Amino acid sequence: MNITSYETKKGEKRYKLKGYIGIDVLTGKQVNAQVTGKTEREVKLKYNRKLAEFEKNGFSSTKKTNSNTTFKEVAEEWFEIHRRKIKPSSIINTEWCLNKCIYPKLATYKIAKITPQILQRVMIEWCDNFSKSTYKKIINLVKQVIKYGVLTNAIPSNPFERTYIPQSTNKPKEKEFLTREELVLFLEAVNLEEDSYKRKKEYALFRLLAYSGCQIGEILALNWDDIDFDKKSIHINKTVSRKKVRTNVINIISDSPKNVASIGVVLLDPTTMKALKTWKTEQAKYNLAFGVRNDKKLLFTNLFNNVIDPVNINKRIVKILERTTIKKNISSHSFRHTHATLLLESGANIKDVQTRLRHADISTTLNTYTHQTDQNNQKNVERFMNYIQY
């Protein structure tokens, strides 16, 4: 660090200091700072400020804002970093949200020119046109992109700090589920399948789905080592995720489920365990007869002995429903709602349901099953009045 003096065009004496301050965390390049002042003391103070700022942020704020950088360019740069921290299925969901929801409104804007007024206008449009959950995802993603833009000096300040984020009043769609009678009807329809292999496989799959309350991805990722027939339980420790490979989306088994709370042991009833044992025997007979190798020991596979695409399960549900009088839009996830709803109807409390579904936060359970808990509260009032009788 060397302070030198020089004269301005007006003949005034000035001091200059140029010195190394560190490695830029964004570029990996060495950064030098240059400051000038009327006195050596002023130059030292300016240099020390630069040094302290760099040590705090990991990059230099002396970089000029690139006024031509678009929102989409910053978002793509941010996403290249962000995608390394999330699961393959989350990558696909984030790409969808950016391409279908965010880019149509902000892609071509110069990010440095995005004002609080512009954000306010598009937020109102998003709030009016998307579900509450999608709107929340959109706002979260835009916030992260703009925060990254501020960090990399693509935008001088964060316009979100000077906006009012509208609150979505869109009510979430009612969760579709099967009543007790409809569930029995559905499983009986599964048993109408003439093909023995297909019937036993589908009965085991849908009964396990309905009686465990698990996610479809968790069920399709199970292998026979996860099943404990003695303790009548299954061990949930992975899930099926969707991953984009070039232009194709494939299904893979991820070593971790949705979150840490999702990992756990789920107890099952004897009838469901019996259905699984029957299916295991049938699967082994089929594999032996046709020379099929099930090295991964998966409970359920497609015709090519690979992981089943959850989308195909939903297609199969539609076909089975055609054999019944049920007129509901049921998906594989509806069986999880069915399990929770019937559990509450049977007298379980909301804490029991949270534990059974392995929700990390009880508020998730409460928000999802508000209607059913309201019904239970009414029953509790009736029970209390019947007991007091005064």
Percentage above 90 pLDDT, the chain: 51
Q: Is residue 172 part of a domain?
A: no
| CATH number, position 210 | 1.10.443.10
Flag the least confident range among 5-19, 25-39, 107-121.
25-39
Residues 235 and 346 in one domain: yes
Give the side-chain half-sphere CA count within 13 A for 192: 12
| CATH number, position 102 | 1.10.150.130
Give start and end residues of each alpha helix (H) in 227-349: 270-290, 310-321, 334-345
The reported pLDDT for the residue numbered 127 is: 94
Residues 327 and 197 in one domain: yes
For residue 148, the enclosing domain spans 71-162
pTM given for the model:
0.67
Give dist(CA 232, CA 188) in Å, integer. 23
Which helix or strand (DSSP H or E) is residue 291 part of? none
Residues 255 and 340 in one domain: yes
Asked whether the CA dihedral 253, 258, 260, 265 is positive or negative, the reply is negative
Quick: pLDDT tens for 49-105. Answer: 888 877 766 555 444 455 689 999 999 999 999 988 888 878 889 999 999 999 999
Residues 7 and 83 in one domain: no
Q: Amino acid identity of 10?
A: K
Residues 114 and 195 in one domain: no
Q: What is the mean pLDDT of residues 7-34?
A: 82
Residue 25's CB is within 10 A of a number of other CB atoms, namely 11
Q: Is residue 95 part of a domain?
A: yes
Q: Is residue 63 part of a domain?
A: no
Residues 338 and 229 in one domain: yes
Q: For the chain, what is the domain count? A: 3
Residues 52 and 75 in one domain: no
Q: How confident is the model at residue 144 (pLDDT cuts 50, 70, 90)?
A: very high
Q: How confident is the model at residue 345 (pLDDT cuts 50, 70, 90)?
A: confident
Q: What is the dihedral of CA 296, 298, 303, 309, to 10 degrees?
A: -110
Q: Is residue 174 part of a domain?
A: no
Q: Is residue 167 part of a domain?
A: no
Residues 241 and 157 in one domain: no
Quick: pLDDT tens for 283-330. Answer: 999 999 999 888 889 999 998 888 999 999 999 999 999 999 999 999
**Last residue in a domain, options 133, 162, 191:** 162
